[in-house]
Structure 1
Amino acid sequence: MRQADLLQLGLVSITDALAQQWQRQQQLLLRPNGREAVLLMQHSPCYTMGRGSSATHLRRGVQGLSHPLHHVDRGGEVTHHCPGQLVLWPVLNLQHHTPDLHWYLRSLEAVVLTVLAALGLPGERQPDLTGVWCGGRKVAAVGIGCRRWMTRHGLALNVSCSLQGFDAIVPCGLRDHAVGRLLDWRPGLTCAHVEPLLLAAVARQFNLELLPCPAVG
């Protein structure tokens, strides 16, 4: 079991979260045997577009977005972030795990599937797609970046968030897949209920001991 710092950032802007993530990845790049990290947060309302994403997936163009749009260094298409959605970014050295990005993507999906199983919900994968579905609706998006096997970004799980912000985009570029949230199946569910399940699942999946650590800056 490897020790990893746990940064619980609460509700944070995407720019502040990216700065924390950049710092942790830089530390690993300089010291590959150094402490890995797991960042858990909720984002202030925004949209993010991954590498090579298409503006055609903005249904009403940039001017039609009600929240800021950020271009970020991850795979995947456009998505929406807002309070009530848990965002988990593991900053790992995959050489200490399995140096395979396909394995890593599937492992992040497995984290979400473990959380849904703990809630008694039927999580599903879709062939040739990333993310996790429940009842035919996509509840978790997965998008990653990696440099010299040091990971960044991760997953976003819709818990109790408003889904209205997704109307302005084609989420993840999938026109025929509706978006859902866990609250739709578990009335009263909050992020506070799901956070310990998510942290336990990521710790188990990657064989980590998570040690609470304050954010910097």
Structure 2
Amino acid sequence: MSQSIADTLQVRWLGRVDYQTTWQQMRDYTDNRDQNSPDQLWLLEHHPVFTQGQAGKAEHVLAAGDIPVVQTDRGGQVTYHGPGQLIGYFLIDLKRKNIGIRPLVTGIEQSLVEYLNQQGINAAADPNAPGVYIDGSKIASLGLRVRKFRSYHGLGLNVNTDLEPFLRINPCGYQGMQMTRMSDFGLTQSVEQAGTELAPVIAKLLDYTHIQWDK
């Protein structure tokens, strides 16, 4: 194993893409990767979609309306993805990186907290509810899947998302969960810019010494 492979995070910007197509691409990469395959962070937006995690319950989808609901294989319950939300998918060889799933989740949460703090937003993780919060309102959600020590799925950070669709569900299974977004605090980043700013924070907190950008 090359030390440089374990220390390198390849970051890809995919633009606005279909959820199910990207989900299949994640599974394909996870199934086909070998010891020389780089760990990757995929940054993107999705077209509007509700996704049900493995713990999801149908009653938490209140009124999907014209937005499709997709049953997926990540952890957690129902959430919304759509334009204006930064998605980060973590395709990591946990055994090679010598990191467990709980430390990975904690590292992702702390990356989001540190990034938002850099932007002047006082955010925090909640040990009892995965994600990142500002005064009780949720700004970022997490949901991962690990198969054969390889992770996929990841985070959703509300940058300038339309929050109305969250009213159609109980976000992450919590009735009345209040959602927020970066633009509510006067920030004007595009989703791509937010991803470009967040990626180095993620790399640092997950102990990658080199970022390889692939746009």
TM-score (norm. length: structure 2) = 0.90
Answer yes or no: is 1:212 the counterpart of 2:213.
Answer: yes
8 A Cα contact 1:98 1:104, kept in partner: no
Answer yes or no: is 1:117 the counterpart of 2:117.
Answer: yes
Structure 2 residue ranges without an equivalent (≥5): none
Answer yes or no: is 1:40 the counterpart of 2:43.
Answer: yes
8 A Cα contact 1:5 1:211, kept in partner: yes
Counterpart in 1 of 2:143? 143
Runs of at least 4 residues of structure 1 off by over 3 A? none
How high is the sequence identity, in percent, across the aligned residues? Answer: 25
What is the correspondence of 1:29-68 to structure 2 with a 5 Å cutoff? Answer: 31-60=34-63, 64-68=64-68
Partner Cα separation in structure 2 for residue 65 and residue 170 of structure 1: 14
8 A Cα contact 1:99 1:149, kept in partner: no
Counterpart in 1 of 2:84? 84
Would you say how many aligned residue pairs link Structure 1 and Structure 2? Answer: 209
What is the correspondence of 1:146-185 to structure 2 with a 5 Å cutoff? Answer: 146-185=146-185
Partner Cα separation in structure 1 for residue 171 and residue 15 of structure 2: 24
CA RMSD, 1 decimal: 1.6
Q: CA deviation at 1:82?
A: 0.5
Q: CA deviation at 1:187?
A: 4.3
Alignment deviations for residues 65-96 of structure 1 (CA, whole Å, 9 cap, x no partner): 32111111100000000010000011001113
AA partner of residue 77 (structure 2): E
Moved more, 101-110 or 151-160: 101-110
Counterpart in 1 of 2:194? 194
Partner Cα separation in structure 2 for residue 192 and residue 147 of structure 1: 28
Answer yes or no: is 1:100 the counterpart of 2:105.
Answer: no
8 A Cα contact 2:170 2:177, kept in partner: no
Alignment deviations for residues 98-147 of structure 1 (CA, whole Å, 9 cap, x no partner): 44211111111011112101101101122311000013210000000001
What SS does the aligned partner of 2:89 have? strand
